[in-house]
Structures are given as C-alpha cells and as structure tokens.
Amino acid sequence: MIVDIEGVPLHLAHPDQLAVRWVGQDEVLRQLLASWLVVDDSDVPMNPRLVGKPGVGKTTLAYAAAARLGREVYIMQATVDTRPEDLIVQPVIEGPGQLRYVASPLVTAMLRGGIAILDEGNRMSEKSWASLAPLLDTRRYVESIVAGIKIKAHPLFRMVATMNDDSSTFDLPEYIHSRLQPQILIDFPERDEELAILRENLPFAEDRILDYVTEFLQQAHASEERYTVRDGINIGRYAIKLMAGLEGLSDSTEALQFSIRQILGEEALRYVRRR
C-alpha cells in the first residue's frame, strides 16, 4: 500500500500476524489496555513499557492486547544498530536516479491507526530514541529528515515498548523515560498459570511432561534463577522430539533431564526435584 504525505509517496509495511494467546496474569493485560484508553476529547493515550526478564512473554502480552482491540499490529525489533531513519522512513534505490521511500512498521501503524510494538526498546541508543520524542508526548508526530516530511499519528494509533531486565541494555534518557509510562512489570507466572502456558504452547505433550517441566521451572523461580517459560517450552519440545526419534529415549524423565542439560546446561539439573 502507498500513501501520499506532503507530496511524498510512502510505501507501507505489512502488519504482523501471530498465532499467540495470552494465558493467565489477567491483571497485567488489564493494566496495558487501561493505559491505551482515551477518556476525554482532550486526553491522549499513554505509551506503556513492559519490563521483565527475557522470555516471560512481554511481546506476547502486547500482541494479545492489540488483538483484543481488533487492530492491526506492527512489531519493530530494536537493536543497538537501530538508526533514526530505521524507525521512521528509509530511502531505497528503485532505479537509476530514483528513490522509493519505505515507512517503518512503527510509522505504518501511525498512519493506519494500528498498534506498534517496539520490541526490546532499551537496546536502542539515545539518538534513536530522540527521533521519537515528539511522538511520545501530546504532539504525536515524527519528522523524517530523509524524506523531508512530518508524519502525524492517527487518533487510533497506540504504542507499547518491551524492555528486557538484563545487563545488555542501555539506560533510557530521562526525557524518554518520562514519556514511556506507565511501567508494567511482567513477573514469573504462578504454578497453575505456568502449566496453562505450557499446555497452550505444547498441546501435543503428555501431562507428565508438562507437570515435570512446570515443577522444574517453579523450583528455579523459587531460587531466583532467570529460567523462563520460554525455556520450559523448549525443554518440553526437545524432550518430546528425543522420545519420538528413530532411536528415541523411551524414558520421559531421562529425555527431560537430557533436554534440560542441552538447553540450559549441567548446572540447571540442580532444580530437578529428586523423587
């Protein structure tokens, strides 16, 4: 799709379509949806940030909230190499002496009235965040230096940033930190919720495998280990594959322990409850 902005044709990105469903932890879903509400003509939506350890489901939560509103979702992955033009408009050589201007997923969401998920936003530099400052306050626009245009956000546009709680990320500058509010913390799920998440992602797994992995994760959480349900899904999936192989392991406990060792390392076996 192409839209015209101040005489400049912009080629838009395609929305993301994921087969995910948020399971459990309804309170954080409620908090996210509340931050996007507009309660008065003079009100504007907030720009929340979802914070938690890698693998706790921040992107899944953001996508599920957007899907509940029935809106197009655009996911943009942030990295240390993300530049301001990557966030807004990029020029692409189309032919001799010709340029095509391509809108980022974020800008596409702005124009389409969709929801943008800026994934792992605290991996970006301050220079890149600075280009989004006017979008994150009441002005709600961005400026493309490359294309020489100002792009205003559709009234239905919403944004959320996910941020990992680890040492490989940048600290946000204060003027951006104050614009990305509220902070919504995604913590490890309770046992019943974690079991439900595993069952949702591994519908082909036997109950004994799901119970084993859930117990392993709960033991790790109790010791403040950083293993997450994403690790649990990978453990269960690999164990099932090991048991189904041509020379598969017939014992599920043996397969699960081997899977834990291969995915998380030998030290992770300390969280396997001895029976």
Q: Per residue in 181-227, pLDDT tens?
A: 999 999 888 899 999 999 999 999 999 999 999 999 999 999 988 89
Alpha-carbon gap, residue 115 to 113, rounded angstroms: 7
Residue 33 lies in a domain: yes
Residue 275 lies in a domain: no
Q: Per residue in 265-274, pLDDT tens?
A: 999 999 997 6
Q: Do both 257 and 146 map to the same domain?
A: no
Q: Do both 173 and 242 map to the same domain?
A: no
The pairing of beta strand 49-52 with beta strand 158-164: parallel
Cβ distance 74 to 116 under 8 Å?
yes
Residue 272 lies in a domain: no
Alpha-carbon gap, residue 49 to 183, rounded angstroms: 5
Nearest-CA neighbor of 5 among 116, 130, 153?
153
Alpha-carbon gap, residue 246 to 232, rounded angstroms: 24
Out of 185, 206, 232, a domain closes at 185
Task: Name the domain count of the chain.
Answer: 2
Residue 271 lies in a domain: no
Structural domain harbouring 36: 2-185
Residue 234 lies in a domain: yes
Q: Per residue in 235-269, pLDDT tens?
A: 999 999 999 876 666 788 999 999 999 999 999 99
Q: What is the CATH number of the domain that holds 159?
A: 3.40.50.300
Alpha-carbon gap, residue 267 to 253, rounded angstroms: 17
Q: Do both 55 and 158 map to the same domain?
A: yes
The dihedral built from the CA positions of residue 231, 234, 237 and 241, taken in this order, carries a sign that is negative
Backbone angles phi, psi at 79, to 5 degrees: -140, 175
